[in-house]
Structure 1
């Protein structure tokens, strides 16, 4: 093992000759987020530290892969989107606790695991989108109002079972209790214009096409549409609303990172985690993905900044994760996906 490690280090020394003398080693990343979205960030990390990054991307199944590989897994960290996916890693005991002053200083308490088993990198709001023509500005401002009978036949959403909606329902359970949250969910179902279907961008498109007047979707999808020449005319027909901005704040979800139990390059992995929480990296990552920085010292830029200030719900994402199973059962009880 020592001979192999020495050979690997020697190879890196040759490859990284133009970089600073202190630079060496690598870090292996399993990612649910596509590599091209991470590339600007990882390139900057390598430039700053000389540590090479290797990325394995998968849409699904990374938890199962880590379990199969066990102690021999080459993965140092897992980068993921949505609190449910990162919580799955914790529940399967695939992540290691990190006690690190830099990470704790940069990432707020509600955006990290209580024992350091995951840390948020960016946040995205679960927004309400309304028709510019058929809904007046300020006519709907909270998630609770989605259940108001005035919106009967006027709301579009994706499946209630999708993790993004499960997280939102979980937050409603945390704020209102299970009984009231279920009444709310049934009210939202009664107001649906069609059977839940498609993705978040499909909901925005449905509002633009007049299928419905109000929709729920993640903020970064709206940003993606505005930056796409073909989709921009569609996105420009809707208004983005920050729900509960004057109250408890808008429900947010995260992209995050976790150190694996097996991490063969633990020190380098923690350096990557620290870097990703830094001002420089937060700016790059958030702007590249139309998201909000998790580090509160970093302001959003570009198109995201144009939407206005995000007053985010400070509810712990760990609490949302703990309510997820009840939220799934709730979706089944109200038969949300069947009209």
Structure 2
């Protein structure tokens, strides 16, 4: 019988993974256990290959650096393009040449050299009050800078990776000078100093603190599935920005193979399995996300939101604009009073 061995929280940073060269697949994960354990059980059932997992909230890149070529980790599962690109920049991952992965994952959702692959996508949406904002009154990210929204917008910190990725995409589409002015105007429209997480922005709309916010689609989905938070989520309307133009900005969860990977062959099998229709459905439904494999249609709540027209901008381009975006956030003092 196959078993997923799990090390969590503080233990993840001190205990070694078992069976580092036994043929198991060893995983370092920033993703929570409930999201990936159903996937790993399905993989083990199909292949007979055991998996061992270290879950952590931070520090996995540093751990890989310390362990060097002796690291037992085969793959890293994480969220946000900046975290995946950090692994590349620190030279902690290797390229994977797999026709299966190349067929299942679109080119704009994978590293050009195969050093990371998207597994799910999430849209960076605009949320609006159903009571105080008319349907169709705002339809693009660019309109967040309009004077009509002065004192009416809430966001989390401008330096959060999800916002940095959005700002990076704006640089790619409009250039640095334009994006700096847009950021300044967006800051001028804030109802309060940036704070909290994406769910807190939805709560702020429900409480009347602001009328418009920015947030990831899956947070809204998760709130709808929580009986206590559902009444709050139902007070806002989803807007898929730029749907009639270049498309809505998306970010990803993804996977990368470590440079040390002692069980490379089985690690490739895991990566390929995770891109398969079966795994894509399991993974996307677990957190109300979109499958990265375009052959797999959204289901459940996500399907109810209608078709998404995602921005086709390569995620690698967004990663390359990250430092520029961070500098712009500092320059306009986005998180300041």
Structure 2 counterpart of 1:294: 292
**Preserved contact between residue 24 and residue 51 of structure 2 (Cα < 8 Å):** yes
Counterpart Cα distance in 2 of 1:329 and 1:142: 23
Counterpart Cα distance in 2 of 1:233 and 1:74: 45
TM-score (structure 2 length as normaliser)? 0.94
Counterpart Cα distance in 1 of 2:303 and 2:207: 27
Q: CA deviation at 1:26?
A: 1.2
Structure 2 counterpart of 1:86: 84
Counterpart Cα distance in 2 of 1:245 and 1:185: 21
Structure 2 counterpart of 1:332: 330
Counterpart Cα distance in 2 of 1:75 and 1:292: 27
What does residue range 183-222 of structure 1 map to in structure 2 within 5 Å?
183-222=181-220
Q: CA deviation at 1:16?
A: 4.9
Whether 2:1 is the aligned partner of 1:27: answer no
Q: CA deviation at 1:34?
A: 1.0
TM-score (structure 1 length as normaliser)? 0.93
Counterpart Cα distance in 2 of 1:94 and 1:216: 32
Counterpart Cα distance in 2 of 1:326 and 1:188: 17
Structure 1's consecutive aligned runs of 4 or more residues displaced over 4 angstroms after TM superposition are: none
Residue 281 of structure 2, aligned match among 274, 283, 288: 283
Counterpart Cα distance in 1 of 2:33 and 2:44: 15
Output one character per residue of 1:45-77: Cα deviation in whole Å (capped at 9) or x when no partner. 111111111110111110000000001101000
Output one character per residue of 1:81-115: Cα deviation in whole Å (capped at 9) or x when no partner. 00010110000000000111000000000000000
Structure 1 counterpart of 2:11: none
What does residue range 164-175 of structure 1 map to in structure 2 within 5 Å?
164-175=162-173
Residue ranges of structure 1 left out of the alignment (5+ in a row) = 1-14, 18-23
What does residue range 246-285 of structure 1 map to in structure 2 within 5 Å?
246-285=244-283
Q: Rg: which structure is higher? A: 1
Residue ranges of structure 2 left out of the alignment (5+ in a row) = 4-21
Counterpart Cα distance in 1 of 2:167 and 2:192: 19
Structure 2 counterpart of 1:145: 143
Residues matched between the structures, number:
319
Counterpart Cα distance in 1 of 2:34 and 2:220: 19
**Preserved contact between residue 2 and residue 44 of structure 2 (Cα < 8 Å):** no
Cα RMSD (Å) of the superposition? 1.0
